Structure 1
Amino acid sequence: MNLFDFSLQLNGFPIKEARTVLKSIQDIDEKDFAAHVEEKKQDIVAFHLKNNPYYKTFLKDIDTSDWNNIPVLTKQDLQKPLEERLTKHYTKFDIYINKTSGSSGTPFVFAKDKFSHALTWAIIQNRFGWYNLDFNTSKQARFYGIPLDKKGYYKERFKDKLSRRFRFSVFDLSAAAFEKHLQKFTKTPFEYLNGYTSSIVQFAKFLQDKNLVLKTICPTLKACIVTSEMLFDHDKKLMETQFGVPIINEYGASELDLIAFENPNGNWQVNSESLYVEILDDNNSVLPYGEEGRIVITSLYNKAHPFIRYDIGDVGILSTKSTAKTPILEKLIGRTNDIAILASGKKAAGLTFYYITKSIIEDDGNVKEFIIEQHKLDTFKIIYVSTEPLLEEKIKTITIEMENYLEKGLQIQFERQDKLIRSKSGKLKQFTSYLNQDI
């Protein structure tokens, strides 16, 4: 029995219908696809304009036939009680309800109609199929958080059982925990790893220290899929070496869908089947392929709740190789609120200098993990986990490089800890600014 599909059907999510619709979309010729997308964009706007009183308030006296006139929705716009935002005729019994992670600092409750949510799963299953992975049969090694209360814990374990996955908690990344993980891999025919990037990187470092390749221990392994956190080239190469399988980069948002998934050609292919992705400048004008800007997304099928020209809070670039049917995400720079603001007024993407520091701080294998915090315009703190404390020479080198990239006169503080504190979900935020600045 296909337990995963059965559980979706049992809960009212029409996965078979969603697969049929997905195939019909994928069968549309490239030359006709742009017209198809335009039709779906207008359809979803017209639907919510007619059926969603809250969304209608955004479109007063607006000519919706011109897409560029349609306002951009922000997360703040959606921080209202869900019942105020729901489309007419939908109730809590015929929708999927969840809450955003809050990584942007503005969490909210959202809804999807059941077909839209089923289509999300159909697309995820389709992408996993690119690597011969099947949600119903392929065994997953899942590196995620897990609720610590008894009810939540056993609920997740039950869901894992139905979904043919075993969960490795990311709240303990010690060598002792990884030794137990390793034993599980020797006894279980896992076909893929899936989970938060930073945690899986730590497991790869553990294997590197022991001079082990995971596929030799677990020959059934086919792939490793990382999500929710930035994947850096250095870490990807490390995982490829220590796992012995392709490393696949996933980008998604719970309130929307799978946004992009690395295809077998190594390109980050954007989901054009259920989403329409734009790159906008600060004035909400559409940027051409190849230019960096805010990622703004329209959910083409969600009728329960409008996500139309929704600013997800990320910055990225669509490749010049993109087409209407196959957009390619060339680069994901980070979140719009992950910006360092300096005393001179200069701004810098936090993850960029995190990456520069990373190349220095981890070159000898001593530092296992680290995060960067900004506490004042000129004050940054690097919190790290390591085998031995950082030497003064290393601290001086890091300080010089950060000043070279940012500006002179910075105060760089270093704090060694036994482990880094993750969010309740298990995610690790690599850069955080504590400045209350309007950027």
Structure 2
Amino acid sequence: MNWFKISLQLNRFPINRAQEKLWQIQKIPEDVYGAYLEEQSRHIVEYHLQHNEHYRQFYGSNNFTSWEEVPVMQKKDLQRPLDQRLSKPYTKSTCYIGKTSGSSGHPFIFAKDRFCHALTWAEFIDRYQWIDIDLNSSLQARFYGIPLDFYGNLLERFKDRVSLRRRFNVFDLSEKKMLAFLERFRKSPFDYVNGYTSAIVLFAKYLQKKNLKLKDLCPTLKVCIVTSEKLFEKDKQLIETFFGVPVVNEYGASEVGLIAFENSNGEWIVNSESLFIEILDENNQILPNGEEGRIVITSLYNKAHPMIRYDIGDTGTLMPGSTLKRPILKKLTGRTNDVAKLADGKVVPGLTFYYVTKSIIEDAGSIKEFVIVQTALDTFKIEYVSEQEFTPVQVQRILTAIETFVGKNLQVELERKNILQRNISGKLKQFTSLI
């Protein structure tokens, strides 16, 4: 029984029609794929110009002229009542309504028309087949957060049940809870793990400490899919070693759906069927493949709500040799707002701190996870979960590395904690600037 597809159909998401449309798009030859993207991009802009007063005002004109003149949307442009942003004839009752996690600091409510939402799920079904996972029959161990209010919690658990997902709540990652996780894997025939990178890495470290391999406890396990947070190569190797299965990178966002998915050759294939992805510089000019810039996304089929040249807040690079039909994401660098500004005017990617401290901290072996917070122009705080305090030698190594790679005359505070604060969705933001 195709419970997953049935659940979509019961909620009036036309999954069969969406799958047929996806297949038609995939059949378009490479040499005319650019024409398809150009036609569909222009069509979605003209649709919203005709049916959406808010978008007309934002666009600054009633008519489409050229793609280069289409304004880039920021998340702050969408932080207003949803009723003001919906295109006619759609209403809240005729759409899929969702809310972003706010990990970028700009949460907002968004809408998709039902066909667009079904098309997103058709793409997930398609990509998961690449790794021998069937969303209609494969059992998922889901490492995510969950709403804490009664009705939200109940609804999410019901959705988990009909979608063959079993929730592993990442809000409690104590060793006692990890032991309970192990028992669930022993008793259930899970086909795959899916969830936030940081939580899965922490579970892999627990397995390492216990000298256990997850696949020995759960022989049906095939693959682990990590999403929403950056996966470092060392962490990928850790997961693959102690889970005993391959790790696959997924990149998506709730407001636009699946952005990229890693295939069996390790290529991060960008979704070019229902999305048009651009890499732009600071002046909104398109960068050639191989150069790093802002990831800007157009949802080609969302008629309920314009997501057109939408700056998702991430930076990345497309692989040289990518084509319009088969773009490959070479690198996902991080969020554009994850930068540290120093007193001397220097701007440093927040990820720099993570790279600097990660290798040093992990040499200790007992460090479970950590985050870095900038509290002033010259002050940074490292919060970490560990079995023991840093030794003076470890502290000095961290200070020396930060001085070498980031800057001099910086104050670094270290605080050991029992647990790190995650956001409302359960994600762990590994660098945050409070200035």
TM-score with structure 2 setting the length:
0.98
- What is the rounded CA distance, in whole Å, between the counterparts of 1:266 and 1:275 in structure 2? 21
Matched, 1:387 2:370: no
Partner of 2:39: 39
- What is the rounded CA distance, in whole Å, between the counterparts of 2:313 and 2:432 in structure 1? 15
Secondary structure, aligned partner of 1:372? strand
- What is the rounded CA distance, in whole Å, between the counterparts of 2:332 and 2:140 in structure 1? 26
Question: Which one-letter code corresponds to 1:325 in the other structure?
Answer: K
Partner of 2:341: 341
Partner of 2:210: 210
Partner of 1:277: 277
| Structure-to-structure mapping, 1:214-229, within 5 angstroms | 214-229=214-229
| Structure-to-structure mapping, 1:188-337, within 5 angstroms | 188-337=188-337
Question: Which one-letter code corresponds to 1:21 in the other structure?
Answer: K
Partner of 2:120: 120
Partner of 1:67: 67
Partner of 2:103: 103
Secondary structure, aligned partner of 1:294? strand
Shift of residue 144, structure 1, vs aligned partner? 0.7
| Root-mean-square deviation over aligned CA pairs | 1.1
Shift of residue 244, structure 1, vs aligned partner? 1.1
Partner of 2:58: 58
Matched, 1:91 2:108: no
Range that drifts further, 92-101 or 60-69 = 60-69
Question: Which one-letter code corresponds to 1:146 in the other structure?
Answer: I
- What is the rounded CA distance, in whole Å, between the counterparts of 1:22 and 1:138 in structure 2? 22
Secondary structure, aligned partner of 1:239? helix
Shift of residue 212, structure 1, vs aligned partner? 1.1
Matched, 1:13 2:49: no
Shift of residue 136, structure 1, vs aligned partner? 1.0
Shift of residue 127, structure 1, vs aligned partner? 0.7
- What is the rounded CA distance, in whole Å, between the counterparts of 1:299 and 1:61 in structure 2? 20
- Tell me if structure 1 keeps the 8 A contact 2:215–2:245: yes
Secondary structure, aligned partner of 2:92? coil
- What is the rounded CA distance, in whole Å, between the counterparts of 1:434 and 1:289 in structure 2? 33
- What is the rounded CA distance, in whole Å, between the counterparts of 2:124 and 2:332 in structure 1? 20
Question: Which one-letter code corresponds to 1:329 in the other structure?
Answer: L
- What is the rounded CA distance, in whole Å, between the counterparts of 1:327 and 1:283 in structure 2? 22
Secondary structure, aligned partner of 1:353? helix
Partner of 2:168: 168
| Structure-to-structure mapping, 1:177-192, within 5 angstroms | 177-192=177-192
Shift of residue 352, structure 1, vs aligned partner? 2.6
Question: Which one-letter code corresponds to 1:379 in the other structure?
Answer: T
Secondary structure, aligned partner of 1:314? strand
- What is the rounded CA distance, in whole Å, between the counterparts of 1:61 and 1:205 in structure 2? 55
Secondary structure, aligned partner of 2:179? helix
Partner of 2:78: 78
Question: Which one-letter code corresponds to 2:322 in the other structure?
Answer: S
Secondary structure, aligned partner of 1:195? strand
Query: Which structure 2 segments of 5+ residues have no match?
Result: none
Shift of residue 363, structure 1, vs aligned partner? 1.8
Shift of residue 59, structure 1, vs aligned partner? 2.9
- What is the rounded CA distance, in whole Å, between the counterparts of 1:378 and 1:62 in structure 2? 48
- Tell me if structure 1 keeps the 8 A contact 2:353–2:372: no
- Tell me if structure 2 keeps the 8 A contact 1:185–1:218: yes
- What is the rounded CA distance, in whole Å, between the counterparts of 2:426 and 2:211 in structure 1? 27
Shift of residue 58, structure 1, vs aligned partner? 2.6
1:25-77 deviation digits (Å, cap 9, x = unpaired): 11111111111111111111111111111111133348633211111111111
Question: Which one-letter code corresponds to 1:392 in the other structure?
Answer: P
- What is the rounded CA distance, in whole Å, between the counterparts of 1:377 and 1:217 in structure 2? 48
Q: Which 4+ stretches in 1 moved above 4 angstroms?
A: none
Secondary structure, aligned partner of 1:57? helix
TM-score with structure 1 setting the length:
0.97
Matched, 1:22 2:52: no
Secondary structure, aligned partner of 1:364? coil
- What is the rounded CA distance, in whole Å, between the counterparts of 2:154 and 2:90 in structure 1? 30
Partner of 1:366: 366
Secondary structure, aligned partner of 2:58? coil
Aligned CA distance change for structure 1 residues 62 and 409 (closer, same or farther; 3 Å): farther
- Tell me if structure 1 keeps the 8 A contact 2:352–2:406: no
Partner of 2:424: 424
Question: Which one-letter code corresponds to 2:265 in the other structure?
Answer: N
- What is the rounded CA distance, in whole Å, between the counterparts of 2:253 and 2:406 in structure 1? 31
Question: Which one-letter code corresponds to 1:338 in the other structure?
Answer: D
Question: Which one-letter code corresponds to 1:39 in the other structure?
Answer: E
Question: Which one-letter code corresponds to 2:42 in the other structure?
Answer: Q
- Tell me if structure 2 keeps the 8 A contact 1:63–1:69: no
- What is the rounded CA distance, in whole Å, between the counterparts of 1:318 and 1:91 in structure 2? 36
Aligned length: 435
- Tell me if structure 2 keeps the 8 A contact 1:62–1:69: no
- Tell me if structure 2 keeps the 8 A contact 1:42–1:65: no
Question: Which one-letter code corresponds to 1:33 in the other structure?
Answer: Y
Question: Which one-letter code corresponds to 2:31 in the other structure?
Answer: K
1:366-385 deviation digits (Å, cap 9, x = unpaired): 11110000011110000000
- What is the rounded CA distance, in whole Å, between the counterparts of 1:72 and 1:149 in structure 2? 36
Task: Report sequence identity in percent.
Answer: 60
- What is the rounded CA distance, in whole Å, between the counterparts of 1:219 and 1:59 in structure 2? 54
1:329-375 deviation digits (Å, cap 9, x = unpaired): 11111111110011111111102321221011012311111000001
